[in-house]
Chain A
């Protein structure tokens, strides 16, 4: 039987020099759900997400992905080959490649897909994010919002089983934020398993199945979306939500 949790962080601790960024964090994402991590800046949300992705060395604990131990304090066990897609705050598109080349690169080189097939797939995805007419542009010719949508298409091209969004709209203006959130909502509606670190409470309210509230390197609260917003259990979450503009 497939485990209900697609990915699970067990008691992870992460330190940078003497600062503890995460202490004993348990975190899990169920198949097909959209989990949103919220909390004040510096709470460790992004670090937690990066730990799930296997991008950080752990000081304690482990990450189990698809029933297999994936990350331990001794290192990352296996190369995922694109099974976890990630979208970054800074987009990280490849500046020397055109939009379509950005999307096609990994399917061609990692999946060994023939170019025509990879291109057809990429064009579908660019259509999904509304940028089919920009496929021959270079990243620097696009707005931040457009770049981020390309980054989403690029991650989707590997048909990941999990999509992680690390503050995908934090460097965007409100208008571009809306267009990126719209695409993210589409991704959620496709039924993908998604985890998002964001300050956009409107997105959390609309699209999240579950909300995790973090502060000071700990998970303080974890609840179904409606309950979290209607009835936060901790004082910290209540004051956080009252400050948040929405």
Chain B
């Protein structure tokens, strides 16, 4: 079958890896940037808060595609030369950071104030409070929307084909341009996207389960029951 041949062809598999790399790297940098923006957004300096607002306003208010083409075409004019893959990473992660900043800000706000007060009275420094008390709770709150963003990023990464990154969409289009078999080439790309989104969904579910406090206690109870059973057996 022609479709399967495309799916397993070297060109499509390596394109899938490019899409995956693009997604993972942009997402990782986006999360990191979002975290920094969210923390800066809580600064007591008005200027810093305004800068964060400005950033989010700019990157959420313009199309990602525009940002991508801008990075690709304008950065070389000021002497910054990157290959198209790097340009795509820069644009996608700058954009993602704006969205992640809002998600993380929401998560930080949802952590009860009493948690910080209790940490302070126990003698934890501000950094320790963030590291051991606030961030772990924020992560649990921010995880579901972040999973959503990850799935979104997998598909948004297809925009990188516009600046000639050899991702799934570009490879599918190029293959079709040679043999006019649009149906099977595009379907092959779709199969790869579906595989990736399914994989990400499973991964997100696994992480959510692992971090779920309720689940953890479930594990403890099973462990205890086992221990009791062994103790009783002796």
Contact = CB atoms under 8 A, between A and B. Distances in A.
A36 to B, nearest CB: 20
A51 to B, nearest CB: 13
Contacts of A55: 117, 120-121
Contacts of A141: 217
Contacts of B118: 86, 88, 92-94, 151
Nearest to A53: B121
Interface in B109-131: 112, 114-115, 117-118, 120-125, 128
A158 interface: yes
A106 interface: yes
Contacts of A136: 220, 224
Contact of B114 (A79, A83, A88): A88
Among A85, A88, A94, max chain B CB count under 10 A is at A94
Interface in A134-163: 136-138, 140-141, 151, 154-155, 158
A142 to B, nearest CB: 11
A: interface residue count bin? 20 to 34
B78 to A, nearest CB: 44
B130 to A, nearest CB: 12
Interface in A49-100: 53, 55, 79-86, 88, 90, 92-96, 98
Contacts of A2: none
Contacts of A95: 137, 213
Nearest to B125: A79
Given A88-B117, A92-B114, A109-B128, A79 B123 contact: yes
B136 interface: yes
Given A83-B123, A106-B124, A140-B213, 16 more contacts: A55-B120, A86-B117, A86-B118, A92-B114, A92-B118, A93-B118, A94-B115, A94-B137, A96-B137, A106-B122, A106-B123, A138-B214, A140-B214, A151-B118, A155-B121, A155-B122
Interface of B: 112, 114-115, 117-118, 120-125, 128, 132-133, 136-137, 140, 213-214, 216-217, 220, 224
